[in-house]
Structures are given as C-alpha cells and as structure tokens.
Amino acid sequence: MKHRFRIDPTHWVYLLTHAIVFCVGVFLIRLESTTWISVGTSLVAAGITGWTVFLYIFLSRDVSARLRILSEFGLSNIFAARSVRIREEYDSRLTDAREHIDVMGFGLRAFREDYFDHFARWREKAHVRILLLDPHFPHAAPYASQRDVEERQTVGTITQEVLDFVRAVTPIMNSSGRHPFEVRLYRCLPTMNIFRIDDEVFFGPYLLKQPSRNSPTILFRRGGILFDRIVGQFDAIWSDETLSVTALRAGE
C-alpha cells in the first residue's frame, strides 16, 4: 500500500505563502538592479528555506507517528523465521528467565531436541507451560493430519512428534521441582506459534505449503498492547477445558 501524504488547509497556506515569496524574489532578481537583486535573492532563499523546513517537519512527524505506533503495540523485532534459525534469540532470554516460560506449537520436535536437557533446570527458576496440538482431535479428521498435508510432510508426522514429546517429558512432569512443568494438548485451530519468556513473547502465524519453522516471527515486549493480547490468548487456551486437555489424556 502506498503511503498517503495528508496536508491540511493550514499547510497549504504555509506552502502558498512561501511560493509567493519565492516568485516575488525571482521577479525582483530580473529587474537587474543591484539592490533589487539582493532583496530578490533573499526572498528566493526564504521561500526555499520555508519549503525545506516544512518538508523536514512533515516527514519527521510521519516518522514520529510510526515510532509511536511501534511503541504503543510493543513491537521489538521481526525475524524471517523461527525455531533453530533464531535459536540465539531464545538462548539469551532463557538464560535469564525468572517467572514464565510458555510455548505453543505443533509437535515441537526441534524445540525438544534442542532444549530437553534444560527442561529440569528451567522449572527450578520458572513456571513452564507447553501447549502441543492434540494429535487425535477432532476424531474424524485431526487437525494434526491436515497440518501435515499443508506442510507437505507425511501424514502422522506431527502426531508422532507430539507423542514423543509427551513421552519424553512425563518423568519431568511427575517429578518434584520448585515450579510446575506442565504440558497440555490444545484443541483449537493451529494458526499461531507462541513462545513467551517473562516479559517478552515471540509470536507468528503458520503459513501454508512450508514448514512452520520458516514462518515469520515478531517479538513483542510487556507494556505494549499486543503482549497482553497474545499472552491472554495463551492463558485462555490453557485454562479452558474445551480448548485444551492435560497431556495424560492424549489418547482420548
């Protein structure tokens, strides 16, 4: 979409006034009198200066408005992909995690492979909540199977990844620790990826005909409108028994 410059009537008055000053200056210069040439040159310079100042202020105002929007919505960064392709972004934040680690994905195979050895340590400093796609819901045509088709992979891939994840972390979930380590299976349409670490949240959509790791990801910080909306979405799915179930009921 092309940006539309909006100029109100006062702006037109300002531009027209400086245009008149400029034209008068050009007229005086053509009189070929030393005095009038000096006056005319000053007027031409004043006209050009006025336009330049207007352009600078107008464009600066536009930039300021854009920055205000970014600040209001809490956008911190944008990445072309997720998962292993931006692992260093995760690592730096996970090291300092103190309260919340929330993850929502499909089977999270890469996540499990990369961080399984850290799971037990994470629960000693933060409450860990993981939402995986329920591999058997709905019973007639599971979302997991449909997503396999959309990602152009063998049907059953996501189902196996979810079952492998639950099987691997069951001992951690059943063991004692400073904070809970919980896994639930969500039963709503799989349209988004969420990875919250304390006061920041990575968020992105799932796109068709490509692996989910290639989908763009946006980083939002606490204090912005979208941080609260995204975290609220995770909480709503987590706490609603019609939208998610405990991982121990994976076969239901």
> Each residue of 170-222: pLDDT tens digit?
999 999 889 999 999 999 998 899 999 999 999 998 888 787 888 899 999 99
Q: How far apart are CA 180 and CA 124, in angstroms?
A: 9
Q: What is the mean pLDDT of the chain?
A: 85
Instruction: Give the residue, 57 or 161, on which the prediction is more confident.
Output: 161
**pLDDT over 60 (residue 78):** yes
For the residues 61-70, what does the mean pLDDT come to? 67
Q: How far apart are CA 139 and CA 137, in angstroms?
A: 5
Q: Is 190 exposed, middle or buried (0-12, 13-18, 19+ CB in 10 A)?
A: buried
- Contact in structure between 224 and 73 (CB atoms under 8 Å): yes
**pTM exceeding the 0.85 threshold for the entire prediction:** no
Q: What is the pLDDT of residues 103-153, one digit of tens each?
A: 999 999 999 999 999 999 999 999 999 999 999 999 889 999 999 998 889
For the residues 218-236, what does the mean pLDDT come to? 94
Residue 90, φ and ψ in degrees, nearest 5: -65, -50
Instruction: Give the residue, 128 or 34, on which the prediction is more confident.
Output: 128
Helices (H), the chain: 9-29, 34-73, 87-94, 109-115, 119-122, 143-150, 157-174, 225-239
Distances from the Cα of 148 to the Cαs of 2, 85, 157, in angstroms? 37, 21, 7
Sheet holding 181-186, edge to edge: 75-79, 217-221, 200-205, 192-197, 100-104, 127-133, 181-186, 244-246
Instruction: Give the residue, 63 or 5, on which the prediction is more confident.
Output: 63
Q: How far apart are CA 248 and CA 13, in angstroms?
A: 71
Q: Is 32 exposed, middle or buried (0-12, 13-18, 19+ CB in 10 A)?
A: exposed
